[in-house]
Amino acid sequence: MVEHNLAKVGVASSNLVSRSILFLLLFISSLVSQPLYIDKTYCIEEDTLRASFFGYQSNDNPIIVTIPKERTHYSVPTNTIRSAFSDRNVTIIDSSDGVVIFKRNCTLMGKADAIEEAFLKKFQEVAPSVMIDEKPRISIKTSLPADFKRYELVDIHISDAMLKRNSGSFVAIFKVGDREKKLYFTYEINAKVKVFKAKRNLLNGKILTNDDYESVWVSLDTPPTRAILNEIPQNVVIKNGIKEGQILTDFHFDVKKVLSKKESIKALFKEEGLVIEVQATLLEDGNVGDIVKIKTEQGKILNAKILSRHEAIILE
């Protein structure tokens, strides 16, 4: 009988411990905050964004951000959003870099893919040396026309300045009925271009060789003005010293001419079917096809057109 009662006490104690553990777990779980994610960019349709928009789950659903109706792009400091949740039991996971951007019309009434594809095709057509790593991100600069679904894309125009930037704007030309209409869009891409960097310090007067530089891919925004892209011209001579690791630009070089000043050349003089050959000295550097001044053995200074590495024809 005593053993039976002790068994009952043991069961009761066990149940009490189990319930205590359960209550303890529930209490601890209530202390663990729910995660709330803040991204860098959001596509929106509504003007009023409540706490639930950011993943907050509660009966309390206050307004966090109000987007002006006329704005297609609207930026808010991340701290504005974080402070709205400061008195709530949440863990914020922030990937916004300090600013949150809200965009309307992300699908461009179903035309986003077609416009992105046309933009990418045009960019690669006019800048074939640029390597674009991913799909471009495109937004309208102003509000979309109410009847935008009727618009038929005709062409894309990208200015030369934009071809050197990972973000900027472009013009899309649409046909609407029997007329054309231009709309302005912004873009973001992740593109690279091939440049050349000096492998060592290079001094003035040195003829550049293949061992003096290496080719590297850099962000499209990186190269300085006048950077040499894709390939190095032949016969270049350094005119401004270059430091190791510096990106090569055409400012650093002069192109060495095929023929140099003071070289001897065979000059041909033609008159009434008669060809006279004289030896002459170049008074300036020149390439085949250039017109340069020469000085004959008799001391005459004449103009001549370079025909080849060894010959020129006198023009007077």
CA atoms within 13 A on the CB side of 105: 23
Contact (CB, 8 A) for 312 and 294: yes
**Closest to 169 measured CA to CA, from 181, 180, 182, 179:** 182
**Closest to 298 measured CA to CA, from 274, 263, 267:** 267
Mean pLDDT of the chain: 85
If phi > 0 it is left, if psi is from -120 to 50 it is alpha, else beta; for residue 273 that is left
User: For residue 115, what pLDDT band results from cuts at 50, 70 and 90?
Assistant: very high
Per the model's pLDDT, the better-predicted residue between 247 and 231 turns out to be 247
**Closest to 245 measured CA to CA, from 224, 226, 231:** 224
The pLDDT value recorded for residue 8 is 47
* Residues 53-68: tens digit of each pLDDT: 998 888 889 999 999 8
pTM for the full predicted model: 0.60
The arithmetic mean of pLDDT across residues 158-187, rounded, is 95
* Residues 232-276: tens digit of each pLDDT: 877 788 888 889 999 999 888 877 777 888 889 999 888 777 888
Q: How far apart are CA 309 and CA 290, in angstroms?
A: 12
Give residues with Cβ within 8 angstroms of 187, minimum separation 6: 119, 136, 137, 138, 139, 167, 168, 169, 170
